[in-house]
Amino acid sequence: MKDIIIQSRKIGKHHPCFIIAEGCDNHLGNMDTAKEMVRHAKSAGADAIKFQHHLPDEEMLRDGVPMSANFNMPLYEFLQLYALTLDQHRELKRYCDELGIIYLCTPFSKKAALEIADLVPAFKIGSGELTDIPSLKVIASLGKPVILSSGMSVYEEIDETINALKPINEDLLLMNCTSEYPPKYEDINLGVIKKLEERYDIPIGHSDHTPDIYTCFGAVAMGAKLIEKHIILDRKQPGPDQSVSIEPFELYQMVSGIRKIEAAMGAEKKINDLEKPIRSWAHRSIVTLKDIPAGTLLTEELIWTKRPGTGVPAKHIDSFIGKKVTKDLTKDYLITWDDIER
């Protein structure tokens, strides 16, 4: 598996998980809100914040698309009212650069991708566009990494897309995803992460739509090298992805938790330096249970195992049973090899 580089940040098997705070359209077109989301994402330690670029007439027909979540209007009308303009995306890109956080954006049409091509270091593609191979070929040809979400799809569809794009652009990343808002936990299938990695040999991530942070931890433990999580400033405020978004303090907890899980993912069984002083008192040694006169044959009624572990290790007790002691021993004494006939 080759590493993928997004704005100097390496993503791959031996690198920290790339964490994306998904601002989506929870800003409702308000730039102050969008910028506050950027600040919180940066403060929480996310690697990137992502917004969406919608051109409704390029993206969908006016009819046939359901009502927008939490809003009593069709999605087309919602986007006409609240989607960010290209100039607003440019402003957010500049603001992200000032704060030192990577700006990403999901285009929902070929034209939208072409408009933001000079703003983003990579393209993030939503699950609904996974099978739009004509548009994806154009996006792949722009020469930037492409992150593909895989909700609502089967392996054969993912195969078709990967096979169509790889000859054009080898810098592909794939996200495990369940396109339910929010999903049932039994539908998330974190075990798919390893299967996707085995099947495609590219960095695999997880785009999460749960209302909390726990499955993101599980995804990282399963090998996810990217995490995407929706954010909202306040869940009490309306937003199209309100039900699947976390607040800033939860984003901080998620990022902090992921970094701790990564630190804990070693696979070497050893005695660590901080364990050694504990081991010395917590392990068991062979000790006397009562006063024992010289010449006595040792039995289990006379010796057994107790802490600390600074004497003869407990595993050797059978070598002491039946042996004569060479001197008088007092109760609660850490018996040694020199105290028995050899």
pLDDT at 9: 98
> Are the CB atoms for 142 and 92 separated by under 8 Å?
no
pLDDT at 240: 84
The pTM score is 0.91
Low-confidence ranges of the chain (pLDDT < 70): 67-70
Write the CATH number of the domain with boundaries 273-339. Answer: 3.90.1210.10
Q: What are the structural domain ranges in the chain?
A: 10-263, 273-339
Q: Fold identical between 10-263 and 273-339?
A: no
pLDDT at 73: 84
Homologous superfamily of 10-263: Aldolase class I (3.20.20.70)
pLDDT at 175: 99
pLDDT at 203: 99
